[in-house]
């Protein structure tokens, strides 16, 4: 497990060979180069990494949408072949370094000129954690665009049921056979529980003490990912 390029609290070498898993990225849309970097570090196949970007691209193809893309450059490859002229929706993911007033204002102008404005987001997080501290996330900018344009917002990312169902389908498992482990109480744990899974909150990454006051109660709280996995290995699904 990594926070940007730094390891978080995890005991190296304890990955279970018996666990059938798919790696779901913490970041809203980390595909492209983000996935390729992880493939170099660990024995992870790109098809095992479930990210919103390819799911959103497929949704656009199936619904004949022409998106104005407000995304990082390294996920544009997923939208190859999709018509983007005369857009009838805006697709927004985490942009971080590429963010600017002009860029979000272009998205605003596209939406406000639509008869039925549609904003598709790759997640709905309030903030994410970097090594240098917490950072505002895509959900806040989506809320600003909705406030300004009265657009419909379709989230295809955590904590949406649609996104979690992609993971369930890839695993071929029922919700009660899956445990979600994450540092985001609302998006990770809350999203999983809403789909019938169980959720474990880890006190790493973006975790903060005031999470305990939120209206979501995890099935288990663990100090780190290793402790969460060890509890499951030792106790099965009896959380």
What residues does each domain of the chain span?
52-155, 176-239
Show the CA angle centred on residue 73, arms to residues 137 and 133, nearest 5°.
Answer: 30
The predicted structure's pLDDT at residue 211: 85
Residues in the chain where the model's pLDDT stays below 70: 1-44
Structure tokens at 190: 């809350």
The predicted structure's pLDDT at residue 23: 47
Q: Please tell me the distance from the alpha carbon of residue 27 to that of residue 127, in angstroms, as a whole number.
A: 10
Q: Please tell me the distance from the alpha carbon of residue 162 to that of residue 211, in angstroms, as a whole number.
A: 24
The predicted structure's pLDDT at residue 44: 65
Please indicate whether the domains covering 52-155 and 176-239 agree at the CATH topology level: yes
Third-level CATH fold of 176-239: Rossmann fold (3.40.50)
> In this structure, what DSSP letter does residue 133 have?
E
Q: Please tell me the distance from the alpha carbon of residue 98 to that of residue 72, in angstroms, as a whole number.
A: 7
**What are residue 112's phi and psi, to 5 degrees?**
-70, -20
Helix (H, G, I), strand (E, B) or coil at 128: strand
Structure tokens at 90: 């805006």
Q: What does the pLDDT look like over 147-159, one tens digit per residue?
A: 999 999 999 999 9
The predicted structure's pLDDT at residue 144: 97
- Give which of 181, 96, 188, 191 is closest to 134, Cα–Cα: 96
Report the phi/psi class of residue 154: left, alpha or beta, with left for phi > 0 and alpha for psi in -120 to 50.
beta
Which class is 52-155 in CATH? Answer: alpha beta
- Give which of 58, 56, 4, 60 is closest to 27, Cα–Cα: 4
The predicted structure's pLDDT at residue 61: 97
């Amino acid at each position: 497990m990594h926070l940007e390029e730094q390891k978080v609290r995890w005991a190296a070498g304890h990955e279970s060979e018996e666990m059938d898993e798919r790696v779901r990225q913490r970041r809203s849309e980390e595909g492209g180069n983000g996935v390729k970097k992880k493939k170099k570090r660990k024995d992870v196949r790109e098809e095992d990494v479930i990210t919103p970007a390819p799911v959103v691209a497929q949704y656009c193809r199936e619904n004949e949408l022409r998106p104005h893309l407000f995304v990082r450059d390294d996920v544009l490859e997923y939208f190859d072949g999709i018509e983007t002229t005369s857009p009838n929706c805006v697709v927004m993911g985490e942009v971080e370094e590429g963010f600017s007033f002009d860029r979000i204002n272009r998205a605003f102008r596209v939406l406000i000129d639509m008869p039925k404005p549609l904003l598709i987001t790759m997640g709905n997080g309030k903030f994410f954690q970097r090594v240098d501290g917490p950072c505002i996330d895509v959900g806040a900018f989506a809320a600003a665009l909705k406030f300004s344009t009265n657009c419909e917002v379709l989230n295809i990312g955590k904590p949406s049921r649609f996104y979690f169902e992609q993971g369930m389908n890839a695993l071929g498992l029922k919700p009660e056979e899956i445990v979600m482990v994450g540092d985001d109480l609302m998006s990770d744990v809350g999203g999983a529980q809403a789909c019938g899974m169980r959720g474990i909150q880890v006190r790493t990454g973006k975790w903060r003490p005031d999470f305990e006051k939120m209206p979501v109660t995890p099935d288990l709280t663990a100090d780190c990912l290793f402790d969460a996995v060890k509890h499951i290995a030792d106790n099965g699904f009896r959380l």
